[in-house]
Structure 1
Amino acid sequence: MENCIFNLPDVQASKPSVPINLTRVGVTNVKKLVEIKRKDKRPIVLISTFDIFVDLPSDRKGANLSRNFEAVDEVLEKVLSTPVYEIEQLCSDIAHNLLGRHEYANQAEVRMKSEYMVRRSSPSTGMKCQEVVNIFAEASAVRGHSDNDYFDVKKLIGAEVVGMTACPCAQEIMRDKAATELSELGVERDTIIKFLERVPMATHNQRGRGIISIKVAHDFDVSLESIINIIERSMSSSVYEVLKRSDEKVVVETAHKNPKFVEDCVRTMADNIVKEFPNLPDDAVITIKQINEESIHRHNAFAESVSLMGELRKEINCQ
């Protein structure tokens, strides 16, 4: 008998029983080792998680998902010979590659998140420690209608940093109580005022999580280090993994001298973004969030601002 050769059908290319367009089809939680170069510094090695998607037209049953893995691997192999300095650029390159491999797709989306270690020194003794910061990046590429080789790309870079906040409202209550008690003990009013100026009153604290993301066109780069520093400076105090007693004193005193509501943190971040990024284009999308894990309540406090950079500049500069 002659051998029979069968051509396997391309099941993904067949027509679905319910022909509707799908916004995202892909794979999630793909873990890869990523090396990011730094000028005049040692490279950073990140254990990163990727979510990778393309859109799917109504006349196609499925996407060729293996091409998503091929796109990531190809770009990461390229990194070995061509240095990559920004994680958002890495996502952009993968999105480009996805559209090249999925000829039926009009848009591709890549999301990446990693834990990033930053070196810090405690505020009093200068003890060296490492702090974990969550960083993330995204890129979306849309195929041009007139030129099949043109892709409109948007990039997003962001970070989430843990800090500490002190409640202004409870502190004002304690200030009033302290002033009343000192007055009943016969302390003069001027002395009470001086004392309250020097010694911050007790209040309840929160572990705060500040989040900033900046979405820009493909030809503009945003400093991740600057984003991290802005978030850290926008809460009542930074927190540290290792502290001696004198360090604890500084952290607690700093936080209580700088009490902030969750709304204050978001507005401070917005102000610092405008100051730190004067060249950021007006159409950049700025998303700022603050989540405070309350210590005397079961709920968390939340505040958010989403705006274009031009709108944010106008609001802040008009004050």
Structure 2
Amino acid sequence: MQGLPDTQNEPDHREIVIDRVGIRELRYPARYVGADEEQSTVAKYEMTVELPAHLKGTHMSRFVEALHDFKEPLSGASLARLTESLASRLQAERAYIGCEFTIFRKKEAPVSRMESLMDYELGMEYRYSTKEESQLFLSVQIPVATLCPCSKAISERGAHNQRGVVTISVEASTDLTFEELIELAESSASCELYAGLKRSDEKAVTERAYDQPVFVEDLARNVAVKLKSHQGIMWYRVEAENFESIHHHNAYAMIEA
């Protein structure tokens, strides 16, 4: 084995830095510790480093080695440590790791107290640099319910309502939790969603939505106000999309700051 050539370490004479090189679409078992309990999931990773102009290639196997040796539950702080470890293994001045995964949260129906699980799509990215301040980005998709204020105002019987999704992306400190973002979005809608509801619960959530009508614009602004006031958030983007029940299109709003 000692006689095998190490082609990646050969010099390159084109004098061009590669901003990011590495692996994508790597699925690996993962653990997540939320507000309820630890749960197992499968995460999809993208792992890259900056490659100096004088090197021909990077060592792709070391990306998998770094992830395989990673034994911590996923969090902003643990992803930061994994990214710094990757940079050290590859002697890189910049390293980037992003991952996407699904978690479940236990929810109680508002009247019957029936328990069910709601799924949420999460994303994390850590950008490590020896020259600049490192950055952590979080993203989460939160399904919600909205009821149209205009329909309520002009209709004698009821108002059209629909499911929607709020996508929150933030640059944040490592102590910000996904649960905070989920609860922030759910409290900004006409009503939150549940996987399981009895008839008494259906009555309660329908009436709650009717009492709290929001346009897609209202939903985006409600979330933005709360993100703006959060001390652990340096940058945010909120996207609200309603899957309209009486239109053959979706309604969409986005705020970035």
Fold similarity call, TM over 0.5: yes
Counterpart code for 2:159:
T
Counterpart code for 2:85:
N
Residue 114 of structure 1 aligns with which residue?
A: 101
**Equivalent position SS for 1:125:** coil
**Equivalent position SS for 1:203:** coil
Q: Which has the larger radius of gyration?
A: 1
* Unpaired runs of at least 5, structure 2: none
Whole-Å separation in 1 of the counterparts to 2:149 and 2:67: 48
Whole-Å separation in 2 of the counterparts to 1:62 and 1:267: 46
Whole-Å separation in 2 of the counterparts to 1:37 and 1:256: 35
Counterpart code for 2:66:
A
Residue 280 of structure 1 aligns with which residue?
A: 232
Give aligned pairs, total.
257
Change over 3 Å in CA distance of 1:6–1:117 after alignment to 2: closer
2:80 aligned to which of 92, 97, 104: 92
Sequence identity (%):
27
Q: After superposition, what is the alpha-carbon deviation per residue over 1:78-124, rounded to whole angstroms, capped at 9, x for unaligned?
A: x3xxxx5x611121111101110112x32111112211111111122
CA positional deviation for 1:233: 0.9
Matches within 5 A, 1:303-314: 303-307=253-257
Residue 64 of structure 1 aligns with which residue?
A: 59
Whole-Å separation in 2 of the counterparts to 1:33 and 1:24: 24
Whole-Å separation in 2 of the counterparts to 1:91 and 1:101: 15
Mean Cα deviation higher: 131-140 or 5-14: 5-14
Change over 3 Å in CA distance of 1:213–1:171 after alignment to 2: same
Residue 155 of structure 1 aligns with which residue?
A: 136
Alignment RMSD (CA, Å): 2.4
Residue 208 of structure 2 aligns with which residue?
A: 254
**Structure (1 or 2) with the greater helix fraction:** 1
Q: After superposition, what is the alpha-carbon deviation per residue over 1:195-219, rounded to whole angstroms, capped at 9, x for unaligned?
A: xxxxxx52222221112233135xx
Counterpart code for 2:10:
S
Matches within 5 A, 1:12-27: 12-15=8-11, 19-27=15-23
Using the size of structure 1 for normalisation, the TM-score is 0.73
**Equivalent position SS for 2:69:** helix
1:211 aligned to which of 163, 167, 185: 167
Matches within 5 A, 1:1-319: 7-15=3-11, 19-37=15-33, 42-76=37-71, 79=72, 87-103=75-91, 105-144=92-131, 152-174=133-155, 178=156, 201-217=157-173, 220-274=174-228, 277=230, 279-280=231-232, 284-307=234-257
Change over 3 Å in CA distance of 1:46–1:258 after alignment to 2: same
Q: After superposition, what is the alpha-carbon deviation per residue over 1:3-57, rounded to whole angstroms, capped at 9, x for unaligned?
A: xx98333222335586532222111222222234569x64332322211111223
CA positional deviation for 1:160: 1.2
Whole-Å separation in 2 of the counterparts to 1:173 and 1:59: 68
Using the size of structure 2 for normalisation, the TM-score is 0.89
* Unpaired runs of at least 5, structure 1: 145-150, 179-200, 308-319
**Structure (1 or 2) with the greater strand fraction:** 2
Change over 3 Å in CA distance of 1:216–1:38 after alignment to 2: closer
